Amino acid sequence: MQTLLSKYTPVTESEVKIWFKAGPIHAFPDNAGACVKYQDKQIAVFHFTAQGRWYACQNLCPHRMEMVLSRGLIGDEKGEPKVACPMHKRTFSLLTGENLNGDCGTIAVYPVKVSDGEVYIGFS
Amino acid sequence: MGNDKLGVFVYRTIEDLEQITQYGMKLAAKGVATPAAVLGGGLLGLEAAKAVRDLGLETHVVEFAPRLMPRQLDERAADLLREAIQGIGVQVHLSKNTRLIAGQERMSHLEFVDGSSLPAEMLVISAGILPRDELASLGGLEVGPRGGVVVDEYMRSSDPNVYAIGEVALYQGMVLALVAPGYEMAEVAVGNILGKDNSMSPVVDLSTSLKLIGIDVASFGDVFGTQAPQRAIVFEDKLKGIYKRLNVSEDGKKLLGGILVGEASDYNQLLQIYKNGITLPPEPEALIVKLAGGESAFGSVLDLPDAAVICSCESVSKGQICAAVSEAGCETLKAITKCTKAISGCGGCKPMVDDLLKGALKAMGKTVKETVCEHFPHSRQELFDIVKVKNYTRFETVIAEHGTGYGCEVCKPVLASIFASIHAETAVAQSGIQDTNDRFLANIQRNGTYSVVPRIPGGEITPEKLIAIGEVAQKYALYTKITGGQRIDLFGARLDDLPFIWEELIAAGFESGHAYGKALRTVKSCVGSTWCRFGMLDSVSFAIEVEERYKGIRAPHKIKGGVSGCIRECAEARGKDFGIIATEEGWNLYVCGNGGANPKHAVLLAEKIDSQTCLRYLDRFLMFYIKTAGPLVRTAPWLEKMEGGINYLREVIVNDSLGIGAELDVDMANLINNYQCEWKEAVENPAIRARFKHFVNSEETDENIEFVSLREQKMPRAW
Ligand code: FES
């Protein structure tokens, strides 16, 4: 289990070495999430269409080690964008990866950029 | 006396219980109705009788006194309790003085002083508590003739340096086996050890409230009305098995004691009135007889004095709770529990604490509005009205116009449900605001796979369809199980397999069962008059009609229904949100029941009605619930909170007292007429179908899903 978790380490914009092309904008649902495969990683990518923002985090929920976060509902808590795990509704900040309603630990978040209609996720 | 024979047990330690269970199960395994007796018709005896009955034995209670629970109940109450107990198949024998436990090696029957006898192959003796005072006697402390360490009003034994409390203590010649005096004894003993001078109150509080064999039994204060001149107010309903007695002071102003049998939900409030010496309302009978209109006669907890103990487990007073709100800034029940420990024991005080919280917040000028979440300053009902009046169709518009922020996992599904109820919209239309289950039209399970439940209206299914389900399950390697709602659940489906599974089920004539939605689930039926020799009406046909009528309809929470063909009630319809039961003269319609963690029987809305009337009431009832209930509130708690309760609901539904009947009819007809199977919608629309992939950028499936085998099928690897 730990090995599964250890695959995911947060990446900040300045650390990005590779911008991985995940797919065209229209491949992603509006105001919701989808899962991207990058090597042996599963990355959840969220399109906050109404706000014109994109966020990415590990698809793995640290609570029960389920690959499900991309299927969670998104929204905000006091302005901070978040995703709620569909299993038991643990919520995670999409800015910091922090668990906002429990002590599940922090998930890895990744930078996202969009250019020429394509969505890219940053890895180090 | 013969109590050394096989089959005779006392009822004191865990080991006793284990032996009783073992022996009883052996007797029960013989298959014939084996008689067993319990000696003692007090609290413990009746508990034991229930246990013996649950073992499957023909159970008899033998009591020396002329009535059951002689210490807690008066004659009429005891009589009612006896009838109720006999009603569930436990025989009661009163005024029986046992002379002999007869038999050879094993006991075979009891012989009584009056010459009569009772066959019994097992006997559980439960005649009072035997204090474990061995240590005290060894140490030379004074013990009573029938055991118990003799204590004074300071809880001191005959040696002033040794204290005794609880069931080992003999106080005023009695062993008190109740928790309330236990608490008081503890306080007194500790006080004295610490050098304070407190003593037991002159009258020991023997108030209790419990469920005996499923029957509410409570008594408090001066039960028999012997301690002071007083008058009794008595209410008895033999049909419903309810008896209530209040002992009131001669001037009618104070409550001195009382008894409740069959229905004791007001016990806590009555106890507060008694304990705090609160002046009774001018017509105290209103405290035990619910008046038409259902207004509570209790006034509010806010009127209690500050010293009133609200949570007796943790002895927290009203003043402490209010201070937690006004001074410590608690705004939720959780915060109050954290701060004062109230509600953390038996939880019986929760409704009162809730009222106090609301009252105290209000007194501080804070409005306690039940808003959906931080994004909307509105309740669900207000949002419902806003969407309806403005005819909104998109979440984004509603939040832009009436809310703040981006929304969240609470308000999005609430609005999804509201759109569904107003525009007959399926979950496919705005999938981004649906909970996972609704978004993918299946139930997410451990390991992130889904379960699939096709609709099987009324639980009726042809062999061909059964085979079709079996074939799909085989092909996609699904674990299959029969559900409690008379249908078949297929577990372990991968996200990307879902459309293919549905496609095959649809081809075999199935539709979505909406097992994933806050929606109508099933209408369970018994076999009914077509086959059953007891059946009064055709329950299966009606269940199918009802399920087909309301399928796909979304609500604040899931809705379940049931139709039984006679009063034997094999469909368990009264454990559902709506239950329809056939009688000789038509259907009886019950509403607002549920199973689950907090089971509630549905209550009668209308009786002896024909099918059409039944459907009309159901239309209105469901629509009224859909419009007015809070998010994730099922029908039972919805009714509980409704002012005026079932009488009010009946007025609205049956007599159309609000004049909204026609509107409810139209709204419901709109939902019924615009039903679509959302599985079909999803598989036929390529854009929607494309959502059912694990990765957006790869055709691979999730390699992390693991199964292990289980009784020839499979299950997810454990967490
Ligand atoms: S698995 Fe995510 S909250 Fe439990």
Residue B232 has pLDDT above 90, yes or no: no
pLDDT in tens, B167-204: 899 998 888 877 778 888 998 999 999 988 888 877 77
Residue A69 has pLDDT above 50, yes or no: yes
Mean pLDDT, rounded, for B469-473: 96
Q: Residue B577 and residue B560: Cα distance in Å, rounded?
A: 5
DSSP string, B153-177: TT-B-SSTT-B--GGGEEETTB---
pLDDT at B292: 46
pLDDT at B297: 55
A73/B695 touch (CB, cutoff 8 Å), yes or no: no
Residue B32 has pLDDT above 50, yes or no: yes
pLDDT in tens, A1-59: 556 777 888 888 888 889 999 999 999 999 999 999 998 899 999 999 988 999 999 99
pLDDT at B514: 95
B408/A37 touch (CB, cutoff 8 Å), yes or no: no
pLDDT tier, B366 (very low <50, low <70, confident <90, very high otherwise): confident
A29/B691 touch (CB, cutoff 8 Å), yes or no: yes
Pocket of ligand 1 (CB under 6 A): A 61, 63-64, 66, 85, 87-88, 90
pLDDT at A2: 56
Residue with tokens 């007809």: B669
Q: Residue B403 and residue B386: Cα distance in Å, rounded?
A: 12
Q: Residue A86 Cα, ligand 1 centroid: separation in angstroms?
A: 7
**Tokens, residue B373:** 């979440």
* Domain range B213-299, CATH architecture: 2-Layer Sandwich (3.30)
* Domain range B520-673, CATH architecture: 2-Layer Sandwich (3.30)
Distance from CA of B670 to the nearest CA of A (A): 29
Stated as kind and residue range, the H or E segment containing B272 is helix B267-275
Q: Which residue in B517, B618, B514 sits closest to B573, CA to CA?
A: B618
CATH number of B438-507: 3.90.480.10
pLDDT at B300: 65
Considering only CB atoms, B432 lies closest to which of A31, A67, A82, namely A31
| Nearest ligand 1 atom to alpha carbon A66 | 1
CB B108 within 8 A of CB B95: no
User: Among residues of chain B, what percentage have pLDDT more than 90?
Assistant: 45
B374/A77 touch (CB, cutoff 8 Å), yes or no: yes
**Where exactly are the structural domains of chain B?**
8-125, 134-176+178-193, 213-299, 309-363, 380-437, 438-507, 520-673
pLDDT at B309: 80
pLDDT in tens, B396-427: 999 999 999 999 999 999 999 999 999 988 98
User: Among residues of chain B, what percentage have pLDDT more than 70?
Assistant: 97
Q: B146 vs B54, B171, B173, B212, CA distance in Å?
A: 32, 13, 10, 27
| Nearest ligand 1 atom to alpha carbon A85 | 2
pLDDT at A19: 93
Mutate to test the interface with B, among A7, A30, A31, A58 (most CBs of B within 10 A): A31
pLDDT at B638: 92
Q: Which residue in B457, B429, B425 sits closest to B554, CA to CA?
A: B425
Mutate to test the interface with A, among B376, B692, B695 (most CBs of A within 10 A): B695
Q: Residue B319 and residue B301: Cα distance in Å, rounded?
A: 11
Mean pLDDT, rounded, for B312-338: 84
**Where exactly are the structural domains of chain A?**
2-123
Mean pLDDT, rounded, for B95-119: 91
pTM exceeds cut of 0.80? no
Residues of B in contact with A30 (CB under 8 A): 432
Contacts of B235 (CB under 8 A, 6+ apart): B242, B243, B244, B245, B285, B288, B289
Q: Residue B2 and residue B5: Cα distance in Å, rounded?
A: 6
Q: Residue A62 Cα, ligand 1 centroid: separation in angstroms?
A: 7
Q: Which fold has domain B8-125?
A: FAD/NAD(P)-binding domain (3.50.50)
pLDDT tier, B293 (very low <50, low <70, confident <90, very high otherwise): very low
End-to-end CA distance of chain B: 57
- Any chain A CB within 8 A of the CB of B432? yes
Annotate B473-514 with three-state secondary structure.
HHHCCCEEEECCCCCEEEEEECHHHHHHHHHHHHHCCCCECC
pLDDT tier, A83 (very low <50, low <70, confident <90, very high otherwise): very high
Residues of B in contact with A45 (CB under 8 A): 696
Residues of A in contact with B432 (CB under 8 A): 29-32
Q: Do the domains spanning B8-125 and B134-176+178-193 agree at the CATH topology level?
A: yes
Distance from CA of A15 to the nearest CA of B (A): 24
A113 backbone dihedrals φ, ψ, rounded to 5°: -135, 155
Lowest mean pLDDT across A58-67, B236-245, B288-297, B410-419: B288-297
pLDDT at B2: 66
Q: Residue B494 and residue B501: Cα distance in Å, rounded?
A: 10
Distance from CA of B278 to the nearest CA of A (A): 43
Q: Which residue in A4, A54, A51, A58 sits closest to A25, CA to CA?
A: A54
Q: Residue B205 and residue B185: Cα distance in Å, rounded?
A: 11
The helix/strand/coil state of B705 is coil
- Name the burial class of residue B709, with classes exposed (0-12), middle (13-18) and buried (19+) by CB atoms within 10 angstroms of its CB: exposed
Residues of B in contact with A89 (CB under 8 A): 409
The helix/strand/coil state of B420 is helix
Homologous superfamily of B134-176+178-193 = FAD/NAD(P)-binding domain (3.50.50.60)
CB B243 within 8 A of CB B261: yes
Stated as kind and residue range, the H or E segment containing B62 is strand B58-62
Q: Residue B494 Cα, ligand 1 centroid: separation in angstroms?
A: 18
Q: Residue B513 and residue B511: Cα distance in Å, rounded?
A: 6
pLDDT in tens, B430-440: 989 999 899 99
What are the start-end ranges of the H helices in B313-349? 318-326, 333-340
Pocket test for ligand 1, best of A4, A85, A91, A92 (most atoms within 8 A of CB): A85
Give the CATH class of B309-363: mainly alpha
Q: What is the mean pLDDT of chain B?
A: 88
B408/A75 touch (CB, cutoff 8 Å), yes or no: yes
| Nearest ligand 1 atom to alpha carbon A61 | 2
Domain A2-123 has CATH 3.30.70.1140: no
